[in-house]
Structure 1
Amino acid sequence: MKKLLGALATTTVLATTAAWADDIKIGLSVDQLFESRVAVNDGIKAEAAARGFEIVEVVADGDAQQQNAQIQSLITQEVDAILVCAVDQNTIERALMAAKKANIPVVAYDRDLPDSRVVQAFVGPDSIWDGRLAGEYTAKALADVDGEITIVELIGALNDQNGIDRSKGFREGISSLQNVTILEVPTDWDSARALAGTQNAFQANPDIDAVFAATDTHIPGVETVLADLGKIVPVGEPGHVVVTGVNGSNDGYQAVVKGVADGFVVMGTEATGRKAVELVADILDGKTVERINVIPGDFYTTETAEANKATIWGAK
């Protein structure tokens, strides 16, 4: 499709994707592969297959410079559009500018690039909403606590809009609580850092009331710390530490079902992936699309998680 359209003026409305479906090639630039990213990518591939689109996937393995080189490779291969989940929102723009120069539209998925001059649309989790759901549950669970409340927040990467927004949403969710001290533990999404930070927090503050994990893949580390300290207490009983997280992984699901965690927010991974391809199709059709497209998650507790297993991507 790219070669055929190359002779057209850039202002010409592109032919419908229905007519050119067999020729459309989408570059999929992935930051790195882990459970939730693979789940979203599966949604992308399923929707692309349903529309007859070809996917050319490259994975940067967490290396921002490698991702920039891979995007240049996609441009050289004359893809018709690029779906990108950036390793680092601060270093990706140069590569995306090259795509713009080649008249290749760019859609960001899973991780927004709010300052980009190139990205035409974004689809991903409603991370403020998701964090707020966990915060509201935590606030309700701790509403009757007298005196100071101490909460450990395992913060995701600060160069990742999802990490920033989940933290913002969580703090909005607990805003009804009084006398709250938040112990921030930066993790950069790394489980070893989350474990060490949780251990240090409990050593310095034995009377912690709650833990919020920006990704529920860190909850097994929280469980390890609580077990070592003899603090795994059933929900509703004195001494219980409220634990919540965001993601929907099998780690989160198992922790919630066992009662180690009170609840978790499950992201709509398949819906995100399918929406990403829909946005690409609309842009190639010359349609106007919304810049921000978010998929809110659902909160499941120890009472509701198992009954809703079929809707939890990590439990499948």
Structure 2
Amino acid sequence: MKMSKVLGSIVAIAMLASSTLSFAKDITIGLSVDQLFESRVGVTDAIKAEAAKQGYKLIEVVADGDAQTQNSQIQSLVTQEVDAILVCAVDQNTIERALIGAKRAGIPVVAYDRALPDSRAVDAFVGPDSISDGLAAGQHMVDQLKGLSGDIVVLELLGALNDQNGIDRSKGFNDALKQLPNVEIVAMPTDWDSARALAATQNAFQANPDIKAVFAATDTQIPSIETVLTDIDKMKSVGEEGHVVVTGVNGSNDGYEATRKGFADGIVVMDLALTGQTAVHLATALINGEKVEMTNVIPGSFYTSENIESNKATIWGAK
């Protein structure tokens, strides 16, 4: 989906929501959160702010990473007869029964941040354009590596293999690197875990000491990369001879600081505020019987070590 179409759809949804505020009385939104970590809290806070702005009551439940718990929590929201459910799923297969229960009860379901492409109950999705985000991080890496001769070994720290965001970021990244005819990508799963990222990076550099670049599916893992490169005396800043190119996706303070200091070359920053606002706007439209786009994706913004500090105000995790 082209960026202009995506943003145009979101603007249209926002205008629709604004025009239907008079229907906001006594509306209750159920918010089902998989678990609370920094970026998820950012989206959740945006949802809460937008719901309050529109005068909605919000019932929030947090599954703490347990899919069975989330299934029960969604069933409870259905029993409480909420007007719409916003859900970020722990696992689609486990909660599908509860989501179908919501559909049978006539309750619209909006998936946010994590797509549920195989669900029969979801009415709309809003989240990051993870393919575009991975592509942007990969393209910058290509631009830094394309002048090198010989075989180029690149380490890819994968996200969770059952998370559409992780899958799509990898797809975008790999699509970008196809421009390099002499590249070898060493892909290591991390399940979004920084300790696993540290071990994976250590193992990769032991097996391939001449790795030229590392892509982190989440920039919260960049400190793990920095630790390994420091330990093996390969810690060089952007522009220095022997620098290992590092890019990532997210927008956390870890990614911001690493890029600002010149350890990382650049990161893609997700727009968490717009994601949360759009989730509520989609729910508003569905409650009022309006048709919406099924898929609504929001591309992130790529910042380099040269411009990230001047854009600090737009980076959700920067402190």
How high is the TM-score relative to the length of structure 2?
A: 0.92
Distance 2:202 2:26 in 1: 54
Counterpart residue type for residue 220 of structure 2: T
* In 2: Cα distance, 1:192 partner to 1:236 partner: 28
Which residue of structure 2 aligns with residue 212 of structure 1? 215
Matched residue type, 1:85: C
Tell me if 1:30 matches 2:33: yes
CA distance in 1: counterparts of 2:174 and 2:110, whole angstroms: 29
Distance of 1:120 and 1:77 partners within structure 2: 20
Aligned to 1:315, what secondary structure does the other structure show? coil
Q: Is the 8 A contact 1:89 1:159 kept in 2?
A: no
- Which of 274, 277, 288 aligns to 2:277? It is 274
Query: 247, 254, 258: which one pairs with 1:244?
Result: 247
Aligned residue in 1 for 2:119: 116
Q: Is the 8 A contact 1:139 1:177 kept in 2?
A: yes
CA separation in 2, counterparts of 1:253 and 1:46? 25
Identity of matched residues, %: 69
Q: Given residue 109 of structure 2, which amino acid in structure 1 is its aligned partner?
A: V
- Please name the residue that 1:7 is paired with: none
Aligned match for 1:310, one of 304, 310, 313: 313
Query: Structure 1: which 5+ runs fail to align?
Result: 1-15
Residue of structure 1 in register with 2:105 after alignment: 102
1:59 and 2:58 aligned: no
Distance in 2 separating the partners of 1:94 and 1:190? 29
- Counterparts of 2:194 and 2:25 in 1: how far apart (Å)? 42
Match of 2:227 in 1: 224
Match of 1:184 in 2: 187
Find the aligned partners of 2:93 and 2:184 in 1 and give their Cα distance. Answer: 31
Q: Determine if contact 1:90/1:159 at 8 Å carries over to the other structure.
A: no
In the alignment, structure 2 segments of 5+ residues that lack a partner are 1-18
RMSD after superposition = 1.1
SS at match of 1:313: coil
Give yes or no for contact 1:157–1:164 (8 Å, CA) kept in 2.
yes
How far off is 1:17 after superposition?
Answer: 5.0
For 1:18 and 1:308, the matched residues in 2 are separated by 33
Contact 1:89 1:160 (8 Å CA) reproduced: no
How many angstroms apart in 2 are the aligned matches of 1:283 and 1:50?
Answer: 18
Q: Does 1:195 align with 2:198?
A: yes
Report the TM-score, using the length of structure 1 for normalisation: 0.93
Q: What's the offset of the Cα at 1:55?
A: 1.0
Deviations 1:28-80 (A, max 9, x none): 00011111111111111111111001111111111111110110111111111
Matched, 1:294 2:315: no
What is the CA deviation profile of residues 87-140 of structure 1, one whole-angstrom value per residue up to 9, with x for unaligned ones? 112322111111111111100000000011110100000000000000000000
Work out whether 1:46 is the aligned partner of 2:52.
no
- 1:19 Cα deviation (Å)? 3.6
- Which of 17-26 and 101-110 deviates more? 17-26
Letter in 1 for 2:194: S
Whether the aligned pair in 2 keeps the contact of 1:27 and 1:83 (CA below 8 Å) is yes
